[in-house]
């Protein structure tokens, strides 16, 4: 155990900061959190829409002003917290003033990325400021180490403090998350094959407010619901016949990979390279085609005992190896 002061500088993103902070609290750290992109008031949310998102849509980006505002918040947190360790999560919208403040603090500093580097605004200068980079992407870890940046593979995780209470399990195959072309194609194909499906998220919702705030009026012909809180999403997944985990061109595995199994859902994942994390056919179900996915959905509906066995095995594996507490131990070793 330790009494070190840890500053967690993180996006608000689905409140995962709560789980990360709790995991380090369990290890004895005195943890302070700076959510550098927090929009705490209605006025801040309106300002973000009008002052940042709308100009960006119109090709008149005010990105520099956004970076300056977020950086000021993060710099103030570093100066106020006087940390021994700084863990920055993503952090690509923070400019050089933040990295200067961390250097000046004398704190040991680790950067944790939950997205591929090509999707971030990090560059050689920002990456070189961290003592080590932790990433969910095996390809990025290999490239960073080859370029002389110490890096370690740290997958994403599940927080068992968020228990799911699904009630009676329904007959629907669900998807919770953003709407991307591959995800839309998969849900439309399943629906056309007669599999009951439902997607959740603002990009799927037909509510006028969600259409307006996503700047997109079009919606696919898929039954849908709006945004869910993390507990609501977990309950939906756990209460479904099965839940989909559909990746794009990521080489890392999404948070959903661990959450779906963690809440006891039957996970249908589109990647057979999951073998280092879960055993296909025993703890998760993988598929390579819509026909194979359709057959798995139909079997799950027909063979409840088989499906329940996979749910239970996936949850056991998650609690044994894939919680935020497990990841905190790996991250700690990077600044030890």
Any domain includes 330:
no
E strand map for the chain? 5-10, 30-35, 85-89, 108-113, 132-135, 151-153, 173-176, 197-200, 224-225, 242-245, 267-269, 285-286
Please state the rounded mean pLDDT for residues 166-180. 90
Same domain? For 80 and 210 the reply is no
Helix axes 304-321, 255-262, angle to 10 degrees: 120
Mean pLDDT of 205-219: 80
| Residues 239 and 304 both lie in one domain | yes
Q: Copy the structure tokens of residue 80.
A: 């106020």
Q: Is the pLDDT confidence value at 270 over 70? A: yes
Q: How confident is the model at residue 52 (pLDDT cuts 50, 70, 90)?
A: very low
Q: Hunting for tokens 């985990």 — which residue is that? A: 245
- 142 and 193 part of one domain: no
- Residue 165 belongs to a domain: no
At which of 98, 119, 154 does a domain end?
A: 154
- From CA 331, how far away is CA 85, in angstroms rounded? 11
Q: Which domain holds residue 297?
A: 173-321
Query: What pLDDT is attached to residue 49?
Result: 44
* Enclosing H/E stretch for 211: helix 208-213
The C-alpha atoms of residue 121 and residue 274 are separated, in whole angstroms, by 28
- Which of 13-27, 54-68, 267-281 is the least confident region? 54-68
For residue 250, being part of any structural domain is answered with yes
Please determine, for residue 329, whether its predicted confidence score (pLDDT) is greater than 90.
yes
Of 176 and 55, more confident: 176
- Mean pLDDT in residue range 225-254: 94
pTM > 0.75: yes or no: yes
Q: Higher-confidence residue: 181 or 213? A: 181
Give the pLDDT confidence score for residue 211 in this predicted structure.
78
Per-residue pLDDT band for 43 (boundaries 50, 70, 90) equals very low
Q: What DSSP string describes 52-88?
A: IIHHHHTT---HHHHHHHHHHHHHHHHHHH--SEEEE
Does residue 185 sit in the same domain as residue 219? yes
91: left (phi over 0), alpha (psi -120 to 50) or beta: left
Clarify whether residues 222 and 123 are in a common domain.
Answer: no
Task: Say what the pLDDT of residue 39 is.
Answer: 57
- Each residue of 292-313: pLDDT tens digit? 999 999 999 999 999 999 999 9
Residue count (the chain): 336
- Cα(331)–Cα(87) distance, rounded to whole angstroms? 9
Question: Structurally, how many domains does the chain consist of?
Answer: 2
Residue 328 lies in a domain: no
Pair (27, 90) in one structural domain:
yes
């Amino acid at each position: 155990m330790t009494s070190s002061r840890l500053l967690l500088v993180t996006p608000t993103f689905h409140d995962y900061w709560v789980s990360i902070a709790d995991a380090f609290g369990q290890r004895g750290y005195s943890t302070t959190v700076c959510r550098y992109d927090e929009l705490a008031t209605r006025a801040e949310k309106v300002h973000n829409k009008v002052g940042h998102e709308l100009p960006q849509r119109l090709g008149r980006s005010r990105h520099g002003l956004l970076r300056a505002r977020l950086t000021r918040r993060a710099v103030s947190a570093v100066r106020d917290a006087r940390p021994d360790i700084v863990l920055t999560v993503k952090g690509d919208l923070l400019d050089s003033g933040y990295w200067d403040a961390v250097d000046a603090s004398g704190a040991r500093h680790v950067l944790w990325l939950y997205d591929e580097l090509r999707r971030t605004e990090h560059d050689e200068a920002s990456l070189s400021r961290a003592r080590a980079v932790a990433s969910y992407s095996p390809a990025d870890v290999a490239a960073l180490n080859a370029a002389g940046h110490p890096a370690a593979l740290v997958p994403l995780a599940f927080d068992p403090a968020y228990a799911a209470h699904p009630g009676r399990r329904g007959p629907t195959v669900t998807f919770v998350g953003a709407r991307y072309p591959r995800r839309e194609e998969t849900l439309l194909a399943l629906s056309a094959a007669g599999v009951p499906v439902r997607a959740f998220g603002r990009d799927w919702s037909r509510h006028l407010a969600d259409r307006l705030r996503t700047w997109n009026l079009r919606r696919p012909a898929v039954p849908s619901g709006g945004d869910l809180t993390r507990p609501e999403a977990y309950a939906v997944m756990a209460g479904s016949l099965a839940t989909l985990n559909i990746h794009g061109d990521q080489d890392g595995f999404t948070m959903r990979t661990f959450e779906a199994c963690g809440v006891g859902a039957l996970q249908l994942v589109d990647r057979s390279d999951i073998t280092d994390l879960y055993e296909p056919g025993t703890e998760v179900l993988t598929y390579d085609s819509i026909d194979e996915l359709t057959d798995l959905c139909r079997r799950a509906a027909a063979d409840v005992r088989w499906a329940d066995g996979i749910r239970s095995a996936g949850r056991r594996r998650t609690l044994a190896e894939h919680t935020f507490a497990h990841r905190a131990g790996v991250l700690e070793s990077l600044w030890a």
